[in-house]
Structure 1
Amino acid sequence: MKIHRLFFRQRLPVDPDSCWTFFSDPANLREITPPSLDLRVTSTLLPRMHAGMIICYRIRPLAGMALTWVTEITQVREPFFFVDEQRFGPYRFWHHQHHFRPVTGGVEMDDEVHYALPLGWLGAAANQLLVRRRLEHIFSYRREILCRRFGVMPQNIGP
């Protein structure tokens, strides 16, 4: 099984508490997901994320095809870190780490995703042709939406 890795970093001009409040609320995932995926949370959400929390979604990764995706929040260290892992869905393996670090003028946010696809060589081909690009598009869209919501940090601000 081939494990693929994606890494994205973004700085947001927002205080750490506001950043954590936004990202730790699974109800906000729809806002930062491309509309083409038609993501809908189907489980009842508690007001506060916690380790062991199960979140169920319906997504449409391809036109006309709806899938159920179930993730578990496996680790939480408020306000710095949380991990979601797929329990049921389109991937053979999905592990998504969210890191938040206070920096001068805001928060530096890292997303690190490790994933694997089913179906052996067919999954490898699908990753090359479609999946990796789609995931990169999702995080690019997320970056755009977050810039609109929170603003853009000047490039010369250091840690």
Structure 2
Amino acid sequence: MKAFHLNFSQRLPISLAEAWDFFSSPLNLAKITPEEMAFTVTSALQADEKMYPGMIITYKVSPVAGIKLNWMTEITQVEEHKYFIDEQRFGPYKFWHHQHHFREIPGGVEMNDILTYGLPMGIFGNIANSVFVAAKLQEIFNFRKQKVIELFGDYAPVANENKALY
């Protein structure tokens, strides 16, 4: 199996605590996923429930042509206000490992997503990645970036942020 890697980064003008509260709530994922994917959390979660290591989350999602798929992920690691990792237990990928990192920066927070995934069906999965899967994932994260800006505003660098201190 070939592993594919994608990295995404975004800065937001909110506190680390606000970012963590929003992104560590599994129910908020539907708010930042394109509507045409019909993303629905099917786990019985409470609105204020936060993730924890070992948490299993189930979804229904339509990534292509309206075909509904079941997806199950497990939150495998959490270090509050720093990072969490979700891994697929079953679903459309052969392998899915998604790291979500957060760090405080002047005037806000920087979020970094590191995604490593693999597809089933050997060479056909590799071709599918080249033809549409990688582009679809890029589209999803681009949508997410715009939606997060709508929710929290756009980051404006703080004066002197990039200047060296001597």
- TM exceeding 0.5: yes
Runs of 5+ in structure 1 lacking a partner?
Answer: none
Q: Where in structure 2 are the equivalents of 1:33-112 lying within 5 Å?
A: 33-46=33-46, 47-112=49-114
How far residue 156 of structure 1 moved from its aligned partner, in angstroms, is: 5.9
Q: Deviations over 1:81-119 (max 9, x none)?
A: 000000000000000000000000000000000000000
Q: Secondary structure at the match of 1:30?
A: helix
Task: Find the counterpart in structure 2 of residue 11 from structure 1.
Answer: 11
User: Post-superposition shift, 1:64?
Assistant: 3.0
Q: Which runs of 4+ in 1 moved over 4 A?
A: none
- Between 98-107 and 148-157, the greater mean CA deviation after superposition: 148-157
Aligned equivalents of 2:11, 2:114: Cα separation in 1: 15
TM-score by length of 2: 0.93
Q: Which has the higher strand share?
A: 1
Deviates more, 1:38-47 or 1:119-128: 38-47
CA distance in 1, matches of 2:106, 2:67: 44
Match of 1:126 among 121, 125, 128: 128
Distance of 1:67 and 1:42 partners within structure 2: 12
Which stretches in structure 2 are left out of the alignment for 5+ residues?
none
Give 3-state SS (helix, strand or coil) of 2:96's partner. strand
Amino acid at match of 1:20: W
Q: 2:115 aligns with which of 113, 116, 121?
A: 113
Shift of the alpha carbon at 1:12?
Answer: 0.3
Please provide the CA RMSD for this pair.
1.2
Identity level (%): 49
Aligned-partner Cα distance in 2 for 1:64–1:32: 18
Q: Is the Cα–Cα contact under 8 Å of residues 107 and 157 in structure 2 kept in the other structure?
A: no
Separation of aligned partners in 2, 1:86 and 1:45? 18
* Match in the other structure for 1:26: 26
Partner of 1:135: 137
